[in-house]
Amino acid sequence: MSDVLIIGETFRSPEMRHEVPLGVPDPFVYLEHDGVRHVYVGSMEAERIRGLGLDLEVHPLEEIGIDELYAQNLDWHEMSLAWAARACAHAGLGHATVPHTFPAGHLDRLRQTGIELTVDQSVFDARRRAKTGAQLAGVRRAQRAAEAGLDVAVALVRSADNDGGVLVLDGEPLTVERVKAAMRVVFAEHGCSADDFVVAPGPQGAGGHEMGHGPIRVGEPVVFDLWPRDDTSFCFADMTRTIAVGPVRDEVREWHRLTREALAVTTSMIRAGVECQSVFAAACDVYESAGYPTQRTKTAGEVLRNGFFHGLGHGVGLEVHEGPYMGLLPGGVLLAGDVVTLEPGLYEPAVGGVRLEDIVLVTDDGCEILTRFPYDLEV
């Protein structure tokens, strides 16, 4: 076992959150040396981290002479670099593996003091592939929140009136912004929160990550792509449905049929040991045989904006996008315990898009589908 070093806080660093599953807003040092896990942190946080009851040696910064550093009247950043270096020296760290996002500022300081750092993200990714019980429970709670949010959105668009082709509710246009606010409240009631998310009507839905805005029109597909985060475990869910009020044009119905097929075909392939690339390839096969372009058919360097222009899926856990990746690049094989999304879609910039996304838990002989929500296009 080689030594490990992480510097960060637990809100933004999934590597740190995995080791210290608690909200700690200011950066601190976590390291593993000779099989012992050490945390160096401000004394205000030390007791909370001890309270987790994990096998962590928690050192308040007074133990490594933080007061001496204060006496030197250092700049804010110099200070953080200096105490992190002291922590590494205190633990006797000589060489450590760090994640690829390790802060370059600390790198330069630590290398000056003779500590050797090697970037190997695979070490940290591998730790997070199989979820802990608490993490998996968190993913499930976040998934329930996503479904409850979408339930409310569907109820809102269903109860709206058609006013010259635009949805209207209680005398005001039922805008994307109104729908999102109602969904956020539902997320909160489920102990979850979210950054901005996709509710993209019509042509906005062709933009992949266009978050959506403005009025919703009758007969146009609306892409709902939601990734609430459970605020206890910090784990995400991720789901997408495409919903239209009133009849859509035949073309959109055909996209939806093909996308359901791509989702069904790829879901049936999921089990431990299957190659990530082969699952992506199966989705491409469905679309290409119906005449739509994919990342496989485009020429090198071409910017593809229609057809199935993105990857098929990704891991979900402490990050909404994490390994394994099921796309064009080699992503290795799926492992039992992976939570992955499958999100095939078809797009045409002038019209919009259709995307469907479930999350599944990979098992030895198949998978458990964690998403419980109908696929219906027209509501």
Partner 1 sequence: MPDILLIGDSIRSPELRHEVQIEIGDPFLYAEVDGRRVAIVWSVEGDRIASVDPAIEIVPSETFSMADFLRDGVNLYDVAAFQAVRMVRSLGITSALVPSSFPLRAADELRSAGIEIVVDQRHFDDRRRVKSAAELEGVRVAQRAAEDGMAAIASALRRSETSAGGRVLAGEVLTCEGLQLLATEAFALRGCRGDDLIVARGAQAADGHDPGSGQVGNDDVVLCDIFPRHLASGCFADMTRTFRVGAPDETLSLWHAQCVEALELAVSMVRPGIEGSEMHRAVSAFFEDRGHPTQFSAPEGSVLRDGFYHGLGHGVGLEVHEAPGLGRFGHPLVAGDVIALEPGLYRHGWGGVRVEDLVLVTADACEVLTEYPYGLDP
Tell me which amino acid residue 9 is. E
Q: Which of residues 287-306 bind partner 1 (CB under 8 A)?
A: 300-305
Shortest distance, position 345 Cβ to partner 1, whole Å: 12
Q: Which amino acid is at 245?
A: V
The correct pick among 274, 321, 333, 378 for binding partner 1 (CB under 8 A) is: 321
Residue found under tokens 């042509």: 203
Judged by CB under 8 A, the chain residues 330 through 359 that form the site for partner 1 are 330-331
The yes or no reply on residue 134 touching partner 1 (CB under 8 A) is no
Interface residues for partner 1 in 234-293 (CB under 8 A)?
A: none
Min separation Cβ 207 and partner 1, Å: 6
Segment 177 to 196, residues that bind partner 1, using CB under 8 A: 177, 181, 184-185, 187-189, 191, 193-196
Query: Which amino acid appears at position 81 of this protein?
Result: L
Question: Burial level of 326, CB count in 10 A (0-12/13-18/19+)?
Answer: buried
Q: 116-155 burial, b if ≥16 CB within 10 A, otherwise e?
A: ebeeeeeebbeebbebeeebbebbbbbbbbbbbbbeebbe
**Distance separating alpha carbons of residues 131 and 81, to the nearest angstrom:** 32
CB of 211 to partner 1, least distance (A): 7
Smaller CB distance to partner 1: residue 183 or 270? 183
Nearer to partner 1, 267 or 306 (CB): 306
Smallest gap from Cβ 77 to partner 1, in A, equals: 5
Distance, CA of 136 to chain centre: 14
* Interface with partner 1 (CB under 8 A), residue from 54, 56, 60, 219: 60
Nearer of residues 100 and 257 to partner 1, judged by Cβ: 100
Residues 78 to 117 in contact with partner 1, rule: CB under 8 A: 79, 81, 98, 100-108, 117
**Shortest reach from residue 244's CB to partner 1, in Å:** 22
- Work out how close the CB of 231 gets to partner 1 at its nearest, in angstroms, rounded to a whole number: 7
**Of the ranges 135-143, 244-252, 261-269, 315-323, which one interacts with partner 1 (CB under 8 A)?**
315-323
Question: Six-digit token pair at 318?
Answer: 């402490």
- Residue 257 or 305: which CB sits closer to partner 1? 305
Is 359:373 a contact under the CB 8 Å cutoff? no
CB nearer partner 1, residue 212 or residue 221: 212
**What's the min distance (Å) between Cβ of 200 and partner 1?**
11
Report the residue number, 36 or 329, with the smaller CB distance to partner 1: 329
At CB < 8 A and 24+ separation, what contacts does 84-88 make?
A: 84/7, 84/29, 84/40, 84/109, 84/110, 85/109, 85/110, 85/113, 87/29, 87/31, 87/38, 87/40, 87/59, 88/5, 88/29, 88/31, 88/113, 88/115
Helix/strand/coil (H/E/C) assignment for every residue in 203-255: HHHHHCCCCCCCECECCCCEEEEECCEECCCCCECCEEEEEECCCCCHHHHHH
Rounded to a whole number of angstroms, the minimum distance from the CB of residue 20 to partner 1 is: 13
Site for partner 1 in 200-239 (CB under 8 A): 207-211, 231
d(CA 304, CA 146): 30
